[in-house]
Amino acid sequence: MAHENTAASSRRRDMALRPWLAHLEATGRLAIMKPGIKLKHELGGIANRLDGRKATLFPAAGDSDISVISGLLSDRNWMAESLGLEGAALLEVFQDAVAKPLPWTEIKDAPCQQVVHDDGDLLSLLPIPTHNEHDSGAYITAGLLIVRSPVTGIQNVAIHRLQVSHGRELGVLLLPRHTLAFFNEAEAAGNDLDVAIVIGTDPACLLASQAIVPLNMDELEVAGALGGAPLDVVKCIGSEIRVPANAEIVIEGRIRANARAPEGPFGEFPQYYGERAERHVIAVDRITHRHDPLFHTIVGGALEHLLLGAIPREATILDTIRRTFPSVKDVHLALGGVGRYHLYVQMRARHRGEAKNVIMACFAAHYDIKHVFVVDEDVDIHDPRSVEWAVATRFQADRDLVVVSGAQGSKLDPSTDDGYGAKMGMDATVPIGAPEFRFTRIRVPGQDEIDLETRIDPAVTLATLHGWSAQPGGGQKP
Ligand code: MN
């Protein structure tokens, strides 16, 4: 590929998973386990214990000779780093990638098709773990599910939870988003919808799969723009779907028309179980993979799960809101709000009521957003304590609260009625026209500039200074 002339090329990493894993190891952030860790609960338990600190690699997991990896992007800064960025630029680069996606490049002889299986109990070839206590069984949790619109041929990429129902069948939860829209088109015509499930992709593909972009935008083109070069793709053996060529594992199959079967429960990002219900069914026709493939799993509810959903959403929510309200500076989907439900908004409000309009725009930006907190520029929206301080000292409930009842929310929020519920916004900005000094935050001038190394005296103790100190086995001498 001879794509070298953009600013993006300077931050381009190899568009594959393995270089990122090697980078994590080289920087002390990869824990490699002993072989044979149990797929049921033990693997997830270990990954959770190291969540946010180290990625994990489980050689020959369970009875398999395939290694499992987890926690690849379990820190906000790792996500930026995986794209070669400083943290602050992440949302900006994501917005640029969504605005200027890069068409992919099709190749032949892709690594992800080095080995092909189409007989027997295909899913038993893979080390698929069971994570949370009440999960109905083994789940593929980090699979990029790719479909093509039967009408336009444009692809969609998303992550859906995939229950292993038996050796050649998966149960899939299709929330009311793009995959379901494409499937509904196929099913209305009485047809199955071809699908590819891609496991073990580079960080750019994982992040791009979570972009909130229009229906007819292929997220693999966003991945190319994020990575700084067109993504290499290859055509599936049994369909027209194009998948990332460097992926570790690809499952080819079909979402079956007029078929539903029980799926769930499954431990989800809100830290609750998604309930068991009749859901869509995927017939598995083929598995292809690299030599010695890696199987990526995301433990339900872990930081990787929360952050993968949160950060791409922040980028698109910020972009959407700023079109009407350029006074908005930054947004953050707080981890305490499971990276989906609580949005912190930082703005410079200039007009009476403006913050309330921003609150309403936030509700419209994504139906998962449930509670919005709007604060001024002197509040750090990446610090929940700072946001709480603004609510505690600048918010009056009878004046600054917005409540909307009977709105669409997240079906995975157990306090809603199957996704039907209330919204709340808090305007915790300083009222327009308030006397400035009344809301001036206290500070010690020059505090941050003091060089403590030059002020602390390590040679002096209480004993040398005042002639007394704590004694072992005795009290302090007066
Ligand atoms: Mn989409």
Go through 208-228 and write b for each residue having 16 or more CB atoms within 10 A of its CB, e for each that does not: bbbbbbeeebbbbbbbbbbbb
The stretch 74-98 carries a mean pLDDT of 89
Q: Distance from the CA of 243 to the center of ligand 1, in angstroms? A: 15
Which pLDDT value is given to residue 86?
A: 75
C-alpha 148 to ligand 1 mean position (Å): 11
Please enumerate in sequence order all residues whose Cβ is within 8 A of that of 137, keeping only pairs 6 or more positions apart, or say none.
130, 163, 164
* Residue 471 CA, ligand 1 centroid: distance in Å: 67
Q: How far is the CA of 195 from the centre of ligand 1 (A)?
A: 14
Range 83-96 average pLDDT: 86
- Residue 457 scores a pLDDT above 60: yes
CB 331 within 8 A of CB 318: yes
Q: What's the Cα-to-Cα distance from 280 to each of 138, 187, 263, 409, 419, rounded to whole Å?
A: 17, 11, 8, 21, 19
Expressed in angstroms and rounded, the spacing between residue 223 Cα and the centre of ligand 1 is: 12
Pick the CATH number of 2-303 from 3.30.70.2190, 2.30.110.10, 3.40.190.10, 3.40.718.10: 2.30.110.10
Confidence grade of residue 225 (pLDDT, cut at 50, 70, 90): very high
pLDDT-based confidence at residue 212 (cuts at 50, 70, 90): confident
Q: In this prediction, what percent of the chain has a pLDDT beyond 70?
A: 95
Q: Out of 47-51, 75-79, 296-300, pick the least confident.
A: 75-79
C-alpha 188 – ligand 1 centre gap (Å): 20
Centre of ligand 1 from the C-alpha of residue 150, in Å: 14
Ligand 1 centroid–CA 458 distance in Å is 59
* Residue 112 neighbours by CB distance under 10 Å: 26
For residue 205, give Cα distances in angstroms to 150, 197, 212, 290: 23, 13, 14, 17
Distance between Cα 376 and ligand 1 center (Å) = 33
* Ligand 1 center to 396 CA (angstroms): 39
Bridge partners of 31, per DSSP, are 56
Could you give the CA distance from residue 307 to residue 269 in angstroms, rounded to a whole number? Answer: 10
Q: How far is the CA of 249 from the centre of ligand 1 (A)?
A: 21
423 has which bridge partners?
404
Cα 177 to middle of ligand 1, angstroms: 8
C-alpha 178 to ligand 1 mean position (Å): 5
342: β partners: 371
pLDDT tens, residue by residue, 233-243: 999 999 999 99
**Tens digit of pLDDT for each residue in 344-388?**
999 999 999 999 999 999 999 999 999 999 999 999 999 999 999
Non-local CB neighbours of 170 within 8 Å, separated by 6+ positions: 123, 140, 162, 163, 164, 197, 251, 253, 281, 282, 284
Q: Looking at the DSSP assignment, which residues form a beta bridge with residue 56?
A: 31, 70
Q: Which pLDDT band, with edges at 50, 70 and 90, does 471 fall under?
A: confident
Gap from CA of 378 to ligand 1 centroid (Å): 35
Q: Which pLDDT score is estimated for 320?
A: 92
Q: Which of 325, 316, 397 is nearest to 355 (CA)?
A: 325
Q: Which residues of 131-146 are buried (b: 16+ CB within 10 A; e: fewer)?
A: bbeebbebbbbbbbbb
- Contact in structure between 240 and 338 (CB atoms under 8 Å): no
The pLDDT tens digits for 109-163 are 999 999 999 999 999 999 999 999 999 999 999 999 999 999 999 999 999 999 9
For ligand 1, the distance from its centroid to the CA atom of residue 346, given in whole angstroms, is 27
- What's the pLDDT at 476? 54
How many A from CA of 412 to the centre of ligand 1?
Answer: 20
CA of 339 to the centre of ligand 1 (A): 19
Instruction: Label residue 285 by pLDDT band (50, 70, 90).
Output: very high
CA distances from 144 to 110, 221, 370, 421, 459 (A): 17, 14, 26, 30, 59
Q: How far is the CA of 102 from the centre of ligand 1 (A)?
A: 15
CA of 312 to the centre of ligand 1 (A): 12
Q: What spacing in Å lies between the alpha carbon of 146 and ligand 1's midpoint? A: 10
Query: Measured in angstroms, how far is the CA atom of residue 435 from the centroid of ligand 1?
Result: 47
Measured in Å, residue 181 CA sits from the centre of ligand 1 at 10
pLDDT in the model for residue 85: 87
Residue type, position 80, single letter: A
β-sheet with 294-296: strand ranges across? 30-32, 55-58, 67-70, 294-296
Residue 121: half-sphere exposure toward Cβ, Cα within 13 Å:
8
- Give the CATH number of domain 324-438: 3.40.1670.10
Residues paired with residue 402 on neighbouring β-strands, in sequence order: 425
Distance from residue 174's CA to the centre of ligand 1 (Å): 13
The distance from CA 75 to its chain's CA centroid, rounded to whole angstroms, is: 10
Domain boundaries, the chain: 2-303, 324-438
Å from CA of 166 to ligand 1 middle: 28
Query: What is the 448 CA–ligand 1 centroid distance (Å)?
Result: 45
- Cα within 13 Å of Cα(104), Cβ side: 24
Instruction: Give the distance (Å) from ligand 1 centre to CA of residue 361.
Output: 21
Assess contact for 232 and 1: CB atoms under 8 A.
yes
Closest CA to 419 of 406, 402, 432: 406
